[in-house]
Structure 1
Amino acid sequence: MTSENVQTKWGQFISLIIVFFFWGFVGSANDILIPVFKKVFTLSQVQSQLVAWAFYAAYFVGSIIFFIVSLKADVLQKFGYKKTLAAGLILSAVGSFLFIPAASFGSFPFFLSALFIVGLGFSIQQIVANPLAIKMGDPATGAHRLTLAGGVNSFGTTIGAILLGIALFGMGNKEESKKDKSSIEIIQGDFVKLKNEITENIKQINSDNVDPKTVTETASNALTAQLAKVDAQLLAISSSTKDAPVKPFVKQYETIEKDVAKVELPLEVVKSKLELVKFPFTILGIAFIIVAIFMYFSKIEDPAKVDAEAVIEQEKSKFSIFDYPQLYLGMLGIFIYVGTEVTIISNLPALLKTSEFGSILEDSIAPFIALYWGSLMIGRWNGGVNVFNTSNLVNTALKFIVPALAFGVIIGANIFAAHDVSSFYIYPIWILLFIAVSFVGGKNAGKTLMLFGISGLLMMFLGLVWRDPEVAKFFFISGGLFLSIMWPSIFDLAIAGLGKNTGKASSFLIMMILGGGVIPLVQGGICDLDGTHPDGIFGITYTHFSYVVPLIGFAYLAFYGFYCPKILKRQGISHVESEGGGH
Structure 2
Amino acid sequence: MALSSQSLHGSAAASARASLVQRSYLLAFSLVTALFFMWAVANNFNDILIKQFQKALDLTRMQSGLVQTAFYLGYFTVALPAGWVVTRVGYKNGILIGLCLYALGALLFFPAAEIRLFGFFLVALYTIAAGLAFLETSANPFISVMGSPATAAQRLNLAQSFNGFGGFVAPFLGSALILSGVEHSAEELSAMSPQALEAYYASEAQAVQFPYLGLAAVVLTLAFVIWRTRFPEITEDLGDDARKTLADRRSIWSHRHLLGAVAAQLFYVGAQVGIWSYFINFVQDLTGAGEKSAAHLLGFSLMGFMLGRFIGTALMRFLDPARMLGIYGVIAAVLCGAAMLTEGWTAVILLGSTSVFMSIMFPTIFALGVQDLGKSTKLGSSLLVMAIVGGALFPPLVGMVADRMQSIQMGMMVPLVSFVVVALFGAAMQRRGKRGRA
- The two structures have a TM-score, normalised by structure 2, of 0.87
2:194 paired with 1:205:
yes
Q: Is 1:279–2:206 an aligned residue pair?
A: no
Match of 2:167 in 1: 157
Q: CA deviation at 1:202?
A: 5.6
* Corresponding residue for residue 409 of structure 2: 544
Q: Could you tell me how far 1:77 is from its partner in structure 2?
A: 5.2
Q: Offset of 1:505 from its aligned partner?
A: 2.3
Residue 318 to residue 358, structure 1, CA distance change in 2 (3 Å): closer
Partner of 1:408: none
Partner of 1:484: 359
Distance 1:13 1:99, change over 3 A: same
Q: Which amino acid aligns with 2:294?
A: I
Deviation at 1:269, TM superposition (A): 4.4
Partner of 2:52: 36
- What is the CA deviation profile of residues 472-526 of structure 1, one whole-angstrom value per residue up to 9, with x for unaligned ones? 2111111111111122332343344444434322221111000011111111110
Which residue of structure 1 aligns with residue 104 of structure 2?
94
Q: CA deviation at 1:460?
A: 1.2
1:472 matched residue in structure 2: 347
Q: Pairwise mapping of residues 450-465 of structure 1 onto structure 2 (< 5 A)?
A: 450-465=326-341
1:376 aligns with 2:305: yes
Is 1:573 matched with 2:425? no
Contact kept, 8 Å, 1:459 with 1:478, in 2: the verdict is: yes
Aligned match of 1:298: 229
Structure 1 Cα separation of the partners of residues 139 and 412 of structure 2: 32
Contact kept? 2:110, 2:209, Cα under 8 Å: yes
Which residue does 2:61 correspond to in 1?
45
Distance of 1:337 and 1:145 partners within structure 2: 20
Conservation of the 8 A alpha-carbon contact between 2:242 and 2:376 = no
CA gap of 1:337–1:93, structure 2 versus 1, over 3 A, is same
Contact 2:157 2:364 in 1 (8 A): no
What is the alpha-carbon distance in structure 2 between the residues aligned to residue 12 and residue 318 of structure 1? Answer: 30
Query: Is the Cα–Cα contact under 8 Å of residues 493 and 565 in structure 1 kept in the other structure?
Result: no
For 2:132, the equivalent position in structure 1 comes to 122
What is the letter of the counterpart of residue 100 of structure 2?
A: I
Contact 1:25–1:156, Cα closer than 8 Å, also in 2: yes
Name whichever of 5-14 and 43-52 sits farther off. 5-14
2:328 aligned with 1:328: no
User: Aligned match of 1:60 in 76, 86, 90?
Assistant: 76
Partner Cα distance (2:321, 2:183) in 1:
49
1:563 equivalent to 2:428? Answer yes
Task: Please name the residue that 2:387 is paired with.
Answer: 512
Quick one: structure 1 residues 340 and 380, their matched pair in 2 at CA, closer, same or farther if it must change by over 3 Å?
A: same
Change in Cα spacing, 1:105 to 1:319, as seen in structure 2 (3 Å) is same
Which string of whole-angstrom CA distances, capped at 9 and with x for unpartnered residues, describes residues 531-551 of structure 1? 5xxxxxxxxxx3112111111
Cα RMSD between the aligned structures? 2.9
> CA separation in 2, counterparts of 1:6 and 1:297?
18
Change (3 A) 1:302 1:322: closer
Partner SS for 2:208? helix
Offset at residue 464 of structure 1 (A): 1.9
Report if the CA contact (8 A) 1:63-1:507 is conserved. Answer: yes
- Distance in 2, matches of 1:151 and 1:13, equals 13
Supply the distance in 2 between the matched residues of 1:305 and 1:483 (Cα, whole angstroms): 30
* 3-state SS in 2 of match to 1:23: helix
Render the CA deviation track for 1:166-196: whole Å, top value 9, x for unaligned.
11246x9xxxxxxxxxxxxxxxxxxx9757x
Give, in angstroms, the shift of residue 443 of structure 1.
Answer: 3.0
Q: Is the 8 A contact 1:326 1:568 kept in 2?
A: no
Measure the CA separation in 1 of the matches of 2:340 and 2:326. Answer: 21
Q: TM-score of the superposition, structure 1-length normalised?
A: 0.67
Q: How many residue pairs get matched?
A: 422
Please, which runs of 5 or more residues in structure 2 have no aligned partner? Answer: 1-13
* Contact 1:168/1:276 (8 A) holds in 2: yes
Larger Rg: 1
Asked if the contact 2:160/2:309 (under 8 Å) is kept, the reply is yes
Q: 1:469 Cα deviation (Å)?
A: 1.8
**1:311 maps to what in 2?**
242
* 1:8 CA drift (Å): 8.8
Alpha carbons of structure 1 residues 343 and 382: separation in structure 2 relative to 1, 3 Å:
same
**Letter of the structure 2 residue corresponding to residue 163 of structure 1:** L
AA in 2 matched with 1:113? V
Residue correspondence of structure 1 range 204-243 to structure 2 within 5 A: 205-206=194-195
Alignment CA distance shift 1:161-1:84 (3 Å): same
Percent identity, aligned pairs only? 28
* Cα offset, 1:201, TM superposition: 8.3
Match of 2:11 in 1: none
Over 3 Å counting, the alpha-carbon distance change for 1:138 and 1:350 in structure 2 is same
**1:79 matched to which residue of 2?**
89
- Determine which of 320, 325, 329 is the counterpart of 1:449: 325
Mark the runs of 5 or more structure 1 residues left unpaired by the alignment. 173-191, 208-264, 386-437, 532-541, 576-583
